[in-house]
Amino acid sequence: MAHYNAPFEIHVHGQVSLRTDVSFAQLQDALKPVWKYAGARSLSDASNSFYEDEPGISFDAQDHVLQMCWTVEGNDDFRQVLDEMCMNLNELSSAGAAIEITFYDTQFDDDDEEPDSEVESRDDFVMLFVGPDPAAIMQVQRDLLVQDVITLMERHFDAAELGGVVSEVDNLFNQRFNDLVSSLELGKPPRGMGGGSSGSGHGSGRKPRHLH
- The tens digit of pLDDT for each residue in 102-148 reads 999 987 765 455 555 566 778 899 999 999 998 899 899 888 888 88
Residue 193's pLDDT band, with cuts at 50, 70 and 90, is very low
Q: Are 191 and 138 in contact (CB under 8 A)?
A: no
Q: What is the pLDDT of residue 206?
A: 46
Q: What is the pLDDT of residue 127?
A: 94
Mean pLDDT of the chain: 83
Q: What is the pLDDT of residue 120?
A: 72
Integer Cα distance of 76 and 8 in angstroms: 8
State the pTM of this model.
Answer: 0.75
Phi-psi bin for 203: left (phi > 0), alpha (psi -120 to 50), beta? Answer: left
* pLDDT of 179 over the 70 cut: yes
Residue 205's pLDDT band, with cuts at 50, 70 and 90, is very low
Integer Cα distance of 124 and 65 in angstroms: 27
CA distances from 200 to 47, 122, 170, 204 (A): 26, 11, 23, 13
